[in-house]
Amino acid sequence: MFCGKCGTENNDVAKFCKKCGAPLMAPANPAPAAVVEDNTEDKVEEPKDGVAAAPNSAPAPAKGGSALPKILAGLVAVAVLTVIAAVLVLNAKPTIDLNKYVVCEAEGYDGYGKPHVSIDWDGIDKKYGKKLKLTGEAKKELGELAAMFDPIEMVAECVSVEYDNSKNLSNGDVVEYTWDIDESLSSSVKCKLKYKDGKFKVSDLTELGKFDAFADLEVSFSGVAPQGRASLDYTGEELNYYNFEFDENSDLSNGDSFVVKIDDKQVERCAEQYGRVPESLEKEYTVSGLSSYVTKISEINDSALKDMQSQAEDAYYSHAAKSFGDGEEVVSLNYIGDYLLTSKGSGYGKYNYLYLIYKAEVHDFVSNKKQTYDKINDVYWFISYSDVMLDENGIVSVDLNDYNTPGNTFYVNTDVSTGWFGTKSWYYHGYESLDDLYKSVVTANLDAYNHEDNVDTSLAVSNHTEVEKPQTVTSGADYILPNSDSELISKSDLEGFDAQTCKLARNEIYARHGRKFKDSELQEYFDSKDWYKGTIDADDFQESILSDIEIKNKDVIVDYEKEKGYR
């Protein structure tokens, strides 16, 4: 069948031209077929179902029928399909391939490059801006405001790309990025998104020469661990010391590590000014060379301990030589251990105190015609050193001349009369028992200090008994308060004194200067002392000759007498 429009021959059963698409129409009066005469008799096949069919013949059209209705039906079908296709196209959701619009780049200097990954929203808008529509759900929710919303902007709010924002990239480094899509997008805009995570290789960063910025940086340490400090000194030309910063530069101990960093703004300045950049912006340092405080008794080496013990013995025997009188003698001085106190970090005291603990044995003897006291008494005593240090090699250092000894005193009362008005007693700097010493130096400081005890308590057991001696008369060269003319006393030094002893101790201050007494009992008492030389009548004596220490000590005794009701 030939097309009536373009003349192209088509299949006889085709309804539309295969070239121009025009409808094909069969001729109204087709030409009759040619008749060929045949003298042979036709073979007729038995008809099926009782109907005979003429062989090789086409069915005749219905009587009075036409081809036009069939053509119109074809046209209608094509029109319907076209409308359906148009509707589908109009309602189809555009698909945006996000990876086609991702922009990956890096800027800066090789070794200090910074990546930037962004989305070309202008390109997306140019291609899809007119195709994107709000969903019915979004229109319903926004109402009259729906016209004010741009679908592209709504997509942009729901789509972002994330990546490692490192600032120290080099050419050849790979930066990976990932997509972050808000699920609410599907209910707002008619569109589909196509995407997958990706990566890009850094290139085209400016290459410059490099220098070791830390080669001219000197890091030094000072102070005492764990409170050491670090300081910097820079001698190069490219930077200044204030271009460096610490992550930690105080409260340091040997072995601690910290990082020194360079402000990254200096990279661009060095590049512009010197044409080179630091090869690294940070370096780790380890603390060394600091002394530290002793925190364990086991850290004290034998040599240092012997030096401290030697100083302790010298200090005690020197004190005894100055303070002990007749009838007193040091029999032994035995080291029995240590207490170490270390600060808990509160207050303003020393960081540590090391107490060397001793037990002194003192022989006390006094006798009169009727009574004798002859006994070895124990005195628990200490010498303490503060801020005992360790150097980096574990060697202990301590100022041997900076020490303390007990201010506490206690009395040994003999009940041996030295006359009808008093009995003999001695007082000692130290403690009557190890328990008393411990309470004073350890227990009293538990709020501010930790402690470690290393004392052999078995050495503190006392089994002394009175020793019988021949009765002798003392020389009389003794004092109630031997040092009241040179050392300040406290009320604790007077503990145990009765009224008569206080009276003697107070007037002893005057007797040392040769004063005579109107009180015959006092005069008789001091006349019995070898050291007393009465040269000034009571009425002629001037208190101005007393020293400040003697006046203060006299006042302490008077106050004590008042508290006790002796006056």
Backbone angles phi, psi at 319, to 5 degrees: -60, -45
What are the C-alpha distances in Å from 92 to residues 79, 348, 364?
20, 80, 117
Residue found by looking up tokens 């040599």 in the block = 303
Q: CB of 509 within 8 A of CB of 561? A: no
- Strands 257-262 and 282-286 come out as antiparallel
Closest CA to 385 of 405, 363, 366: 405
Nearest in space to 549 (alpha carbons), one of 509, 513, 503, 507: 509
Burial class (CB in 10 A: 0-12, 13-18, 19+), 45: exposed
Q: Using omega within 30 degrees of 0 as the cis cutoff, is the peptide bond preceding 226 cis?
A: yes
Architecture of domain 479-567: Up-down Bundle (1.20)
pLDDT of residue 174: 95
Alpha carbons 238 and 277: distance in angstroms, whole number = 9
pLDDT, residue 372, reads 87
| Burial degree of 143 (CB within 10 A; 0-12, 13-18, 19+) | exposed
Q: Are 118 and 170 in contact (CB under 8 A)?
A: no
pLDDT for res 166: 77
Q: What is the mean pLDDT of each run of 10 residues along the chain (567 residues)?
A: 68 56 52 37 37 41 49 54 46 86 92 92 93 92 90 93 87 94 90 94 91 94 88 93 86 91 90 92 93 93 96 96 92 96 79 96 87 92 95 91 95 82 87 96 94 93 52 52 91 87 94 93 91 92 91 93 86
For the chain, the structural domain boundaries read 1-27+70-92, 95-201, 209-292, 297-476, 479-567
Rounded Cα distance between 267 and 168, Å, is 11
Cα angle for residues 290, 293, 298 (degrees, 5° grid): 115
Which tokens is 29 given? 């009066």
Q: What is the pLDDT of residue 37?
A: 37
Q: Contacts by 261-265 with C-beta closer than 8 Å and gap 24+?
A: 262/213, 264/112, 264/167
pLDDT of residue 10: 64
User: Structure tokens of 470?
Assistant: 């021949």
